[in-house]
Chains A and B, each alone.
Chain A
Amino acid sequence: MATYTLKAKQRRSALRTLAFLSPWLIGFAVFFAYPMISTVYFSFMHYDGFKPPTWSGTKNWTYVFEHYPFFWPALRNTLWLVVIMVTLRVLFGLGIGMLITKIKTGTGVFRTLFYLPYLAPPVAATMAFAFLLNPGTGPVNSILEKIGIPAPGWFNDPDWSKPALTLMFLWGVGDLMVIFMAALLDVPKEQYEAAELDGASAWQRFRFVTLPNISPIIMFAVVTGVIAAMQSYTQPLVAGKVASGVIQGAGTMFEPGYPEHSTLTLPQLVYNLGFQRFDYGSACVVALVLFALSMAFTALLMRRRGGLIQAGD
């Protein structure tokens, strides 16, 4: 009798867990597992969305890696953003985070002003920066020229389009500021006092007290930054389109990544191949590359030891 009730209890508790998890479990199956299997399937099929899909073996794969002119430029641009933009964003975010902990007068006002750009909708922020950095009429170049600094072409110059994007991402560094601020305020005060007693200089206090204490947060910022950079889609796409002056309307074709593919990122290729060229098979190949990369970085975030997000208690 006792074992019977125990079993019944276990079954009830399992059912209860399933019931609570069910929205996510259904969503996972329908909006991830099923499409993921389809993506693998379509990556080996020729499919244009109209005629039924036909088996094409590895043709899509060789097409993407060897003949599709945008894949390698897009991968290079993505890596550029992953390395340079993320590094600068973490350094700048840490700097602003440290600055805000040092500000003693009007802290609330400063913090709000530093944080607001993070909230600007990506499209709106990109439109704003496309205007601000417009070489012809933009206020930034007007000011630069007034003070005698040679003004770059920003989103209209392939050498400057990624730095322009980076500048915009630095502007929206408010999320990192908040995270770093919280981490910096958590560093035990006694450690600073002890270091000061030992005669440590400001740099030594930063190097031997601050850094070790906040290094997990720095790693978190780096890895989440890398994942976000790898996914960057809206900003480079809109910046390229607006700077190129393409008027968008039904059926307009535009060369992605203006100028000279310099703002092309991997996620944009899925759109270009799938929804502009109606080559769903090749689009799925790029989607799988993107999947492999994002899962690799996510694994880094969740490594069992030294992982940044622990699953267990």
Chain B
Amino acid sequence: MTQVLDRPAELTAPSSPAERTARRKALLEWIAVHSLGVAAALFFTLPFVFVFLTSLMSDSQALSRDLVPHTWEWANYRKVFDTPGFLTWWKNTLVYAGLGTVLTVVSSVPVAYALAKFRFRGRNLTLMLVISMMMLPPQVVVIPMYLFWAKQLDLSGTLWPMIIPLAFGDAFSIFLLRQFLLTIPNEYLDAAKVDGCGDLRTLLKVVLPMARPGIAAVALFQFFAAWNDYFGPQIYASENPNAWTLSYALESFKGAHHTDWNLTMAATVLVMAPVILVFFFAQKAFVEGVTLTGVKG
């Protein structure tokens, strides 16, 4: 980000009254905008700060109205990790998010490629169906899906009913990738064809390397969709605590510890932290993904 200071230049010769008012106006605007910015920053940041501070309080202090811990109980985090199941939930989340992300990318890329670059009858219809699926609440088809996984395949209490569908293309990922692939000029594909590349080779050798940022965005969104998912684990894994994921287990954590707000908030920090950490390494992919789905039609 370039930082342009909007303050008037200070070395100009004695200026006319009109210039002085303009200068004063610019300075006042700078102050007003940045005070608003600081106020907004407080609104967006303070919840994180209070959650973190509470996570370091003692049991009794967490139930008081104090805002800052008297003693910094770093051991709270130790206690969260010692909660039976916590490491299993962590592992389950990584399996669901990691495996799900790989499957989503592998299955969505060819579909998005066809939708962006092939000309065929029914293409617009297919794209409209993809967009409709993106907008579909998971609750609409959950009853038959649950009966299918639980009664016919006996897979409830496992992560599979959440992971396997991702091997068949994910609507949001297909849409986002398609939007990204549209920005790759067709000339590259034509050149590859002239050089004798088949479709698959063109996709793997020419398109994929250029689509890396789009794939990164999709992978991140899919990873966090799984990380954040509550409904899936509630439907398919709730009966078996060994199959819980962090997001689902977090709420029952409060149950297990009654009103231990300090430990609950420590667990909350632990669920939020990876997302925020990853964001700092992959800011560009996140922001690009959001703009791609939103601004370009």
Contact = CB atoms under 8 A, between A and B. Distances in A.
A89 interface: no
| Size bin of chain A's contact surface | 35 or more
B290 A99 contact: no
Nearest to B67: A139
Given A124-B268, A271-B234, A171 B45 contact: no
B283 A23 contact: no
Nearest to B168: A27
Contact of B272 (A105, A120, A233, A242): A120
Nearest to B254: A242
B47 A117 contact: yes
Contacts of A127: 250-251, 254, 264-265, 268
A134 B254 CA distance: 14
B9 interface: no
Given A116-B44, A122-B230, A312-B124, A231 B251 contact: no
A116 B48 contact: yes
A112, A143, A183, A242 — which one has the most chain B CB atoms within 10 A of its CB? A112
A242 B140 contact: no
Interface string A287-298: 110110011011
B192 interface: no
Given A20-B110, A24-B130, A99-B33, A234 B268 contact: no
Interface stretch (A153-161, A192-200, A244-252): A244-252
Contacts of B44: 113-114, 116-117, 171
A121 B37 contact: no
B1 A23 contact: no
Q: Which of A102, A220, A271, A284 has the most CB of B within 10 A?
A: A102
Contact of A274 (B146, B227, B295): B146
12 contacts: A16-B118, A20-B114, A23-B169, A39-B140, A116-B48, A128-B48, A178-B294, A217-B295, A220-B294, A280-B147, A290-B137, A302-B132
Which 8 A-B residue pairings sit nearest by Cβ, starting from the closest?
A27-B168, A38-B144, A35-B141, A35-B144, A20-B114, A179-B294, A24-B169, A108-B1
Interface of A: 13-14, 16-17, 19-21, 23-24, 26-28, 30-32, 34-36, 38-39, 42, 49, 96, 99-100, 102-108, 110-117, 119-125, 127-129, 131-132, 134, 137, 139, 142-143, 171, 175, 178-179, 182-183, 186, 216-217, 220-221, 224, 227, 230-231, 233-234, 237-238, 241-242, 245-250, 267, 270-271, 274-275, 280, 283-284, 287-288, 290-291, 294-295, 297-298, 301-302, 308-312
Interface of B: 1, 3-6, 29-30, 33-34, 36-37, 40-41, 43-45, 47-48, 50-51, 54, 62-65, 67, 107-108, 110-111, 113-115, 118, 120, 123-133, 135-137, 139-148, 151, 165, 167-169, 174, 199, 224, 227-228, 230-231, 234-235, 239, 247-248, 250-252, 254-255, 258-259, 261, 264-265, 268, 271-272, 275-276, 279, 283, 286-287, 290-291, 294-295, 297
